[in-house]
Amino acid sequence: MSVVEFGGLCRALFRNDVGKPYHLDARKLAEMFSVFDKNEDGYLDREEFKMCWSKWIKTIVRPVSAFLIVDVQNDFINGSLAICNFQAQQKGEEVVPVINEALDTIKFDVVVYSMDWHPNDHLSFVTNVLKYPLHPTSPVKAEEAKTCDKVVYDGDPIKEQILWPPHCIQDSWGAELHPDLKIVDGALWIKKGHNPEIDSYSAFFDNAKISDTGLSRQLRQRGVTDVFVCGIATDVCVGATATHALDEGFRTILVDDACRGVCTDEIEKLKQNIMKANGVVINSTEVKSMVQGRDRRPELGYKLAMRLQETSQ
């Protein structure tokens, strides 16, 4: 298969659910071809195409999907850290019917619920700021710190921390998932932020990426290729989770209308960063056709090809 023929293959491959082809960037097309052209002769021989088929095309047309529902908990909706009280004034409860509709109508291979699960003495709580030593570079002194201030805690490593009201305390009402959120059988559960000395926004790692939750391993054990991320808050825990999903090599999709966030500018910045990293941002109405492999995005194909290149080196 020549470069020209590979381009024709990609134009047939990357189409939406009604058969309209997506635009293909010429540079990225050439980079994807080079991933499979191992001997660099400008042609995919039988063995090279077999690898292209088994490692790349099969994933694109038959993805294995995980629906990752991040922190749809009472405290973020109408409790101590309700996001409606922040700059964007978004209502966290609005994600619930969107998520429920997706769970009712789409057959995901894996469903994951993540939850903040903090002890009373967690360092992210503004009420605990005097309990942990601050680094000399901290822009705010402990005695003057208020909610939403950023401090720098001493330690190895030193840790930047935004201070929040006490929230999602283990076994409290605030830590419970919203009562109207649909819970499916056989889901994976990730509880994060239980180490009092470091915060954990992402469902994959703590904020310093020192320890992991085991989620990446569990998804790989189940053959997951595509991670659809939603929940609260877009520019905090959802964003950290999507970013780490990309870092871990998963084809990552942010379901925009199933998320609500804190700061308008930060929400937009997060979405732009996801797209720059070859993730995609979609509406929930587009999820089903992507899960079924009928809507095939070139960004995700490129992301997979680059991952294959990384892992083969």
Please give the torsion angle defined by the CA atoms of residues 81, 84, 85 and 88, in that order, rounded to the nearest 10 degrees: 120
How wide is the angle at C-alpha 118 spanned by C-alphas 116 and 121, nearest 5°?
155
CB 10 within 8 Å of CB 301: yes
Residues designated catalytic: 71, 192, 237
